[in-house]
A and B are shown apart, each in its own frame.
Chain A
Amino acid sequence: MRIYFRLNDEPTEIDVDPADLLVDVLRLKLGLRGARPGCLQGQCGSCTVLFNGMLAATCMIPAFRAYGAEILTIEGLMQRREYQDIDRGFERAGTRPCRFCAAGKYLSVHALLSSSSDLSDESIHDTLAGVWCRCTTHERLVRGIRYAADYRQRRRQRGG
């Protein structure tokens, strides 16, 4: 089956078996290895992408569902200025996600900062609950998210 979708802002078309998991299509057919298969039950966050603007576990998406979708992977986010805000925020907080959870953490924070200005403990907790990996401490991550929000706001005020 041939599917068409937008991947990291680029129109993409590819032949897939509709039953393949999107995480495998991204990694094995498109060479995007940032989304990693972990629990394969949508719980651990390591295979996260933004799917039509929503956080989504690619191990819970069959390939046919990607038809017409808009997908942003960690590789696509890295090309954007928003990534630098998050990266600087994490760095300032003294934390750096490992390769297993980077997709989940960066994209979750990006989704949080893009969807609302609500940085309550509840919304941050909800965001981090979707990524199981504890290679970084919770407190530093929370601090990193608040720094990232600050960097993003300052950049926007400068018109960047």
Chain B
Amino acid sequence: MTSPANDRRKGSDTAPLLTVDNLTVTFQRRGQEPFRAVDGVSFSVRPGQTVGLVGESGCGKSVTSLAIMGLLPKRGNQVTGTVDYEGTNLLTLSDDDMRDRRGKDIAMVFQDPLSSLNPVIPVGLQVTEVLERHRGIKRKDAMPMAADLLKRVGIPDPNRRIKDYPHQMSGGMRQRALIAIALACAPRLLIADEPTTALDVTIQAQILALLKELVEDTGTALIMITHDLGVVAGLCDEVNVLYGGRIVERGDRHPIFREPRHPYTNGLLGSIPRLDTVGERLTPIPGSVADNLPWDHACAFAPRCSQPVEVCTTNTPTLEESGGRALRCFNPVEVAR
């Protein structure tokens, strides 16, 4: 059903809901060089589409999501570029206007369900709180809606569960509750920041299936932030691979998995265990983010690259678009035929 052609069609017949253009986040700390955590990132999401932001720790994926949500602290952070949500640049909205949109138009699911719920308030009240805030529904009337929402995300016995405190729920159930809270006001864009990292594998699969189902049912656009390529493979229509704050490769899910062009993407794929190649050693990417070169006059990935050429350490590669894919590399991986 989800052939690549189908994916592309789903993404291309509607106007984008959210367009991020040249988003740059600079951390400015006194006595230190300014650090660009996100460096000219551009991508867009259409209604019903799932876009993945993939990369290792410190590549700027979470900072990107917080910048879109306007949740970065004002002090010490400079955010430039545009985040266009149906014609409105979210970055220029006032704090109050942005607060009215968060939770209503854009919602977010966080990484750690154990600590993302308020421990002293029953889960039901945390759902109704959003309904009260954005839809002006009285708590009494919001309670049955909260139970419905919990039921929709697959929490059994929701009428009893709405009175539970977070510590009385399992990790998977808490993540379901968080998703219910995020979806309470039917936002048109959902940002999921590694929603499955803190969960065990079987629960991960359930949560991903749930997200997929909800996105398909409601036409919500989903930005999926993850370091887990398995998550990407199962869920995303389009994949953006981030490295050192910049997008290094973009493409639809199937082409990118079948023919990774950037050595980093290729390395990521090479470092996942596979079921069909028993006994083969994994090939990890050597080094760490600490080895990065500055993008200003080199490719940041060059020191860890499997196939660097001389120009990689002297010039900055640009993101070249061709045939629905984009690539930032001087010496891309040859497509194996």
A binds B: no
